[in-house]
Amino acid sequence: MASAKDLRKRISSVKNTQQITKAMKMVSAAKLRRAQENVVALRPYAKEIAGVIGTISKAAGTDFSHPLLTPKTEAEVQNVLVIVVTSDRGLCGGFNATVIKTAQRYVKANAQKYKKLDLAFVGKKGYEFFKNKKEGKYYQNFLVGLNLKKSTGLAEELIKSYLDGEYDEIKFIYNEFKSAISQKITVETLLPVRAPEESVSGSNAEMGLTIYEP
């Protein structure tokens, strides 16, 4: 049986651990709050950009064409690239599992439909799951210190692959952030650009202009 001294040491150790975990929780909460604020703050900008693209493509009509804005028929789409976006770490509930399952279902449903269906991976968890099942390019450490330069580099690489005819369609499968405990699984076509219907129905579409301020 433990002595009184041993019990006091154990109690003290547990209290110290509680203080450490409380501090870690506070730091994590602050990081989550900053990340959430950044996501929410960027949404109006992203929505407005989609609106500008929609307005341009609608207003141009048949007088203007661009390979990134020209939709392809179902028969023309033979080579498809799907980028699977997961996290680098686990212990985040169904965050990665839902993306991986959606990617699995997409590959199974469309493997025979296309001449070529490739996967690429942003995030370690998706790559580790598929690496022995279906090979694909892995953008290692892409999410570490993510910045505009990294994002622009990836975008330019994908645009080049599309314009060179390597792929007829490029899609992303990812979790769209709703709240800290809720995400919406999304399968989105990046190229060719498809402006959402709602982006061309607002006042800017009617006026034909967008005002930018600092």
**Residues with catalytic roles:** 92
CB of 112 closer than 8 Å to CB of 78 = no
Q: How far apart are CA 99 and CA 186, in angstroms?
A: 8
Q: What phi and psi values does residue 76 have, to the nearest 5 degrees?
A: -75, -20
CB of 186 closer than 8 Å to CB of 174 = yes
- Omega cis (within 30) before 192: yes
Q: How far apart are CA 130 and CA 136, in angstroms?
A: 8
Task: Report the Cα–Cα distance between both ends of the chain, in Å, rounded.
Answer: 70
Can you point out the beta strands (E) in the chain?
79-85, 116-122, 136-138, 169-179, 182-191
Q: How far apart are CA 160 and CA 166, in angstroms?
A: 9
Q: How far apart are CA 96 and CA 85, in angstroms?
A: 8
Q: What phi and psi values does residue 140 have, to the nearest 5 degrees?
A: -65, 135
Pairing of strands 169-179, 182-191: antiparallel
